[in-house]
Each structure stands twice: as C-alpha cells, then as structure tokens.
C-alpha cells in the first residue's frame, strides 16, 4: 500500500512512478536501501505506449514482477507485422518461435504501470502518490551544470501539504517533464529527423491480423500510402488502439482542410484512407471516445547522470513508438540507475565512474533503437526506394533477419546475441540510411568534436568517407556486447545479483 508520510530524509529519492521509476525503486529497495518514490498522479492513470517487447520479461523477472504480469491476463503479443511498402509483402518479427514463452504483451498501461508501482512498494520502497516535486536544491548551485549535485527537493501534496526531503541519491524518472534535463542541465535535444506528431483513439469490434495462424492477432504497423507517416494497430483486451504518426510539417498542412468542432476527429478518420490494411481490419469496428494527440516526443540528452543523480526513462530520452521501445528503454534505465547507485554505495567504483557508466549504457541502448528507427523511417517516407530491401526482393525477410536483435530488445538482454550479430545489424542500418545530408551533418557536429568533420577542398568522396568513418567511430565507442550481464563500458559492467547489485570490473582491467 502507498503511504501518505513523506520522510525528511531518504537514502534514495525517486521522482516518478512510471516504469523507469518503479523499476529503479524496486531494484534498490530489494538491496536494503531506504527508498522513497514520489508520484504526482494517483494510480491507476492513463498512459499511451501499450505494446511491449519480449526483452521486458528478463527485466521484470529480476524484480519479481513477471509472474504478476502473466497472471493479470494482458493480451499476448506473438509478434509484429510491418507494412513498409504496399507493393511488397509485410515484414514480420516472430516472438514465439521457437519458444512460446518468449511472447510479450499488449497492455493497458493504467493497469500495467500500477502493477509495477505496487510491486515497488511490496519490495520495500516508500511510495507516495499525489505529490508534485518543486525545486531541486544542490550542494553548490553555482557550479557548472554537469557538476551539480542534488541534495534535497521541495514537494507539495494534492492536499496542500508542503515540505522538503533530503537524500543521498536522486533518480529522476519524471517522464517527459525531465526535471533535471529541462530545468537544470538544459541539455535536451529534439531529433529533427523524427519530428512527428501522433493522433490516436480506440475501436471495438475489429478484425484481427492473420487469424488461424501462428501470427494471429499480432500487432500491425502500416506505412501511409502518401509517404507522410505510418499507423499502428495494437490489439488490446476488448478493443484496439489505432494511432496515426505523421511528419509534423505534413500534419500541419493536412489539418488546414479541417475546421469546426469535429476537426480533429474528421482529420483522424480521413487519414485512414491511406492505410488499406488497417481500413480492412477496422471495417466491422466502431470508434470509441475521442482522438488524443502528442507531438515533439523524439529527444535525447548527452548526459544521463552526474554527481549522486541518475536520469532514467523518458526523463532522459525517447525515440519513437515505431518499434515499441519505450518500456524496454525505461527498464534498462531503471536497472542501470539502480546498479550504478548500488556500485557507488558499495565502493565498487567511484561515483564519477558509476555516473559515466550509466550515461554510456543508456546511450548505447538508445542509439541501437535510433539506428533501426531511422532506417525504417527512410523506407516509410521513400517507399519506392530500396532501403530495407534490394530491388528484386518482394519482402523484408532479409532486413528483419538483421534488425531482429534490436527490435526485440535482445541486444540488451539475451546472451545468445553476439557482438558480430549486433555489428551486422548496425552495418545493415548504416547502409539502409544511406548518405548523410547537410542537416544531419550539422546535427552531428553539435554532439562531436567539430574537428572530426573538418576537411579542406570540395572532394565529395572525401566528404562521404570522412562522415561515415566518424559515424563508425561513434558506434564502435558504444562497445557492442550481447546483454546487460556482460556489457562493459570503460572496464565496468553490471553485477546482476540480488543483494550485490552493482558494477564489476572487467577481467584484466
């Protein structure tokens, strides 16, 4: 049960009770630390992001919540189909072959997130709902942002009570608000290449994809025929979530044709004409409720940790809903936050080393998904181009054989995924994304030493080679490894053991 008492001091304070915050709180509380989690809403509460990856299972298993999710009875997700081009057969990623227990779920996030939050409390965390976090205070507020060390924060309950809590470590899992990144570090960068807006709602009475086959009722994602974006069709218990994701500038232009009190609803329904597969599945269905929308949701930051704080989940970065990476990345960040805080407390390494590891691990997982999402978007927005296929291929089977380790989340969780497999994935995606353009060059220059991109003369071939070499260096610096049990950054890797959760030194270091 959640408690209404907020302590004046806590070893670790977690802001936010979504998947990242609940995960970090549960993992740390199980280690015996005093953990307080402050959540502004009262659960259950609505949230989008309903489709999950098989990789979430080992994460949940570690904090003893997997069986609770199984028992709840969410709709089982056997795989996902991707219709990139209406002249080619859809691609498919199979979750259950050869292991049926590898299935994921499509979940109602209100129920799923509450399971995670209650589990954190059951593991020993003090969970307090209806609390808004105000100012965060620092040991020395006048140092440069990267050296800020949070030591306390002000809070206010929805009953009007106010107070301040001191802590030794802070986990910022405040979702899109991203208190540390947006208010203090001011280092959030929006991904212009993925600048999109989503419109979604719910239907009942729909048909299902591939009935009577091993793919029955799988998630369906379909590119809009006018190359402006894509649509998700996510079956849930008793209904289906249908969302349209469109390039922001195109959406603004299209919406100008719709006015009046039902403009949003009319616009949403009008765009379904560009997805014949979804239209067919919705033929017997009835739309329920209202159309919801969200935009500006693809962003990241160069730093996810600093002195005695960690940033996890959407508070630090979010890519795009295309490959359902949100909960996976939230769990990954929550676990890494917990492990690095444990490492700092236990003396496995210095706090500076622990913070650097968290930033590197979160950044690596984010970049893997970003690579395949960018490749997918290039195909969606240029459907006649052979991006994920060769010209003579009529399907995406070869592409999916390469990108499966990433889009199923196995790159972070599965011992069977080798470094060679991951390198093949990145090679394929690099090829799929093709040559860079001036805008991409400018964006990369903001994040790396500009000297790496300098050259003299007008040699276009040199330009291409230099850019690709530097891109390769960036990827290699992420140090691809098969899973969070064995992934090392600067000589450190996670020790995934209850009672000893922390970091370990790589042999020979």
Residue 420 banded pLDDT, cuts 50, 70, 90? low
Tens-place pLDDT, residues 115-134: 999 999 999 999 999 999 99
Domain of residue 245, residue span = 196-295
- Reading the block at residue 194, the tokens are 């993925």
Residues 6+ apart with CB under 8 A from 102: 54, 57, 95, 96
* Mean pLDDT, rounded, of the chain: 83
CB-based contact 322:306 (threshold 8 Å): no
Residues near 214 by beta carbon (within 8 Å), at least 6 away in sequence: 78, 94, 96, 97
**Contact predicate 37/126, CB 8 Å:** yes
Residue 112 lies in a domain: yes
For residue 418, being part of any structural domain is answered with no
How much is the average pLDDT of 280-302? 91
25 and 117 both lie in a single domain: yes
Question: Looking at the chain, how many residues does it have?
Answer: 509
Q: 382 exposed, middle or buried (CB, 10 Å; 0-12, 13-18, 19+)? A: middle
Q: Kindly tell me if the per-residue pLDDT of 442 is higher than 50.
A: yes
pLDDT above 90: residue 38 = yes
**pTM above the 0.85 mark?**
no
Pair (65, 207) in one structural domain: no
Q: How far apart are alpha carbons 335 and 340 in whole angstroms?
A: 9
CA distance 155 to 165: 8
Please state, in angstroms and rounded to a whole number, the distance separating the CA atoms of residues 64 and 26.
9
Region 105-109: mean pLDDT is 97
Separation of alpha carbons 344 and 362, rounded Å? 17
Task: Report the pLDDT value the prediction gives residue 452, as an integer from 0 to 100.
Answer: 46
Q: Select from 260, 277, 295 the last residue of a domain.
A: 295
User: Does any domain span residue 155?
Assistant: yes
With respect to residue 236, please indicate whether it lies within any of the assigned structural domains.
yes
- How many CB atoms are located within 10 Å of the residue 135 CB? 13
Q: For strands 189-190 and 299-300, give the pairing.
A: antiparallel
Q: Of the ranges 164-178, 346-360, 442-456, which one carries the lowest mean pLDDT score?
A: 442-456
Distance CA 290, CA 298 (A): 24
Per-residue pLDDT of 218-238, as tens digits, reads 999 999 999 999 999 999 999
Residue 380 has pLDDT above 80, yes or no: no
Q: H helices then E strands: how many in the chain?
A: 14, 22
Cα–Cα distance for residue pair 249/255, rounded to 1 Å: 10
Separation CA 144–CA 267 (nearest Å): 47
**Do 205 and 60 reside in the same domain of the chain?**
no
Query: Do 158 and 240 have their domain in common?
Result: no
How does pLDDT run across 175-218, given as a tens digit for each residue?
999 999 999 999 998 877 778 899 999 999 999 999 999 999 99
- Average pLDDT of the segment spanning 449-469: 47
Q: Which two tokens stand for residue 259?
A: 């006015």
Band of the pLDDT at 102, cuts 50, 70, 90?
A: confident
pLDDT tier, 398 (very low <50, low <70, confident <90, very high otherwise) = very low
Q: What token pair was written down for 274?
A: 């560009």
Higher per-residue pLDDT: 181 or 371: 181
Task: Please indicate, yes or no, whether residues 201 and 220 belong to a single structural domain of this protein.
Answer: yes
Statement to judge: residues 160 and 186 lie in one domain: yes
Residue 140 CA: distances (Å) to CA of 15, 152, 193: 21, 12, 37
Predicted local confidence at residue 354, as pLDDT: 98
15 in Cβ contact with 170 (< 8 Å): yes
CA atoms 489, 494, 495, 500: torsion sign: positive
**Same domain for 308 and 262:** no
Query: How far apart are the C-alpha atoms of 59 and 24, rounded to whole Å?
Result: 11
Tell me what pLDDT residue 174 has: 98
CATH number at residue 253: 3.30.9.100
Question: What tokens were used for 508?
Answer: 């020979």
CB 473 within 8 A of CB 459: no
475 lies in a domain?
A: no
Residue 125 φ/ψ, nearest 5 degrees: -80, 145
Is 313 found in the same domain as 174? yes
Nearest C-alpha neighbor of 376 from the set 204, 193, 501, 165: 193
The three-state secondary structure class of 22 is helix
Q: How many CA atoms lie within 13 A of 475 on its CB side?
A: 20
More confident site: 143 or 473: 143
Domain boundary among 278, 295, 312: 295
The mean pLDDT of 238-251, rounded to a whole number, is 95
Same domain, 208 and 161: no
Q: Does residue 128 lie in a domain region?
A: yes
Q: Which of 14, 37, 12, 8 is nearest to 311 (CA)?
A: 14
210 and 177 in one domain? no
Query: Strand, coil or helix: what is 156?
Result: strand
pLDDT of residue 92: 85
Q: Are 231 and 244 in contact (CB under 8 A)?
A: yes
Nearest to 337, CA basis, from 503, 116, 150: 503
pLDDT at residue 153 in the model? 98
Confidence of residue 160 (pLDDT cuts 50, 70, 90): very high
Q: Are 49 and 39 in contact (CB under 8 A)?
A: no
CATH of the domain at 185: 3.50.50.60
- How many degrees, rounded to 5, is the angle at CA 418 between CA 331 and CA 472? 85
Same-domain check for residues 120 and 265:
no
Rounded to whole angstroms, what are the CA distances from 218 to 70, 78, 96, 273, 471? 18, 6, 11, 22, 35
Q: How many domains does the chain have?
A: 2
Of the candidates 295, 315, 330, which is a domain's last residue?
295
The Cα 18–Cα 196 span in angstroms is 23
Contact 312, 170 (CB under 8 A): no
Over residues 475-485, the pLDDT tens digits come to 333 222 234 44
Residue 332: inside a domain: yes
168 with 39, same domain: the answer is yes
């Amino acid at each position: 049960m959640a408690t209404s008492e907020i302590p004046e001091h806590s070893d670790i304070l977690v802001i936010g009770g979504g998947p990242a915050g609940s995960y970090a709180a549960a993992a740390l509380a199980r280690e015996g630390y005093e953990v307080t989690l402050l959540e502004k809403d009262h659960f259950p509460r609505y949230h989008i992001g309903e489709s999950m990856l098989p990789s979430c299972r080992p994460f949940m298993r570690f904090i003893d919540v997997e069986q609770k999710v199984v028992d709840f009875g969410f709709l089982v997700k056997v795989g996902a189909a991707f219709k990139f081009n209406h002249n080619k057969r859809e691609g498919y990623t199979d979750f259950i072959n050869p292991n049926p227990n590898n299935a994921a779920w499509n979940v109602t996030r209100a129920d799923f997130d509450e399971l995670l939050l209650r589990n954190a409390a059951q593991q020993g965390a003090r969970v307090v709902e209806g609390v808004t976090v105000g100012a965060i205070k620092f040991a020395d507020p006048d140092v440069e942002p990267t050296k800020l060390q949070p030591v306390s924060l002000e809070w206010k309950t929805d009953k009007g009570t106010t107070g301040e809590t001191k802590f030794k470590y802070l986990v910022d899992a405040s979702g899109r608000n991203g208190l540390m990144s947006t208010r203090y570090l001011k280092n959030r960068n929006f991904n212009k290449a993925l600048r999109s807006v989503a419109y979604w709602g719910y239907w009942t009475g729909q048909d299902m994809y591939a009935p009577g086959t091993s793919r029955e009722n799988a998630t369906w994602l379909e590119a809009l025929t006018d190359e402006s974006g894509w649509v998700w069709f996510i079956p849930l218990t008793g209904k289906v979530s249908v969302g349209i994701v469109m390039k922001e500038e195109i959406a603004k232009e299209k919406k100008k044709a719709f006015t009046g009190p039902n403009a949003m609803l009319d616009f949403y329904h009008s765009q379904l004409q560009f997805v014949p597969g979804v239209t067919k599945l919705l033929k017997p269905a009835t739309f329920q409720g209202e159309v919801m929308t969200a935009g500006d949701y693809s962003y990241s930051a160069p730093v996810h940790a600093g002195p005695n704080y960690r940033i996890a989940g959407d508070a630090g970065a979010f890519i795009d809903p295309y490959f359902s990476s949100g909960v996976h990345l939230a769990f990954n960040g929550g676990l890494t936050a917990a492990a690095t805080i444990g490492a700092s407390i236990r003396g496995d390494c210095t706090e500076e080393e622990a913070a650097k590891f968290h930033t590197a691990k979160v950044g690596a997982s984010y970049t893997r998904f970003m690579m395949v999402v960018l490749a997918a978007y290039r195909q969606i927005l240029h459907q006649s181009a052979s991006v994920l296929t060769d010209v003579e291929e009529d399907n995406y089977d070869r592409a999916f054989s390469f990108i499966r380790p990433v889009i199923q989340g196995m790159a972070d969780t599965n011992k069977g995924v080798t470094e060679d497999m991951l390198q093949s994935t990145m090679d394929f995606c690099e090829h799929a994304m093709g040559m860079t353009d001036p805008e991409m060059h400018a964006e990369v220059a903001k994040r790396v030493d500009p000297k790496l991109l300098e050259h003299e003369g007008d040699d276009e071939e040199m330009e291409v080679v230099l850019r690709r070499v530097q891109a390769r260096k960036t990827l290699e610096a992420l140090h691809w490894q098969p899973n969070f049990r064995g992934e090392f950054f600067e000589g450190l890797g996670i020790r995934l053991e209850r009672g000893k959760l922390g970091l370990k030194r790589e042999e020979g270091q």
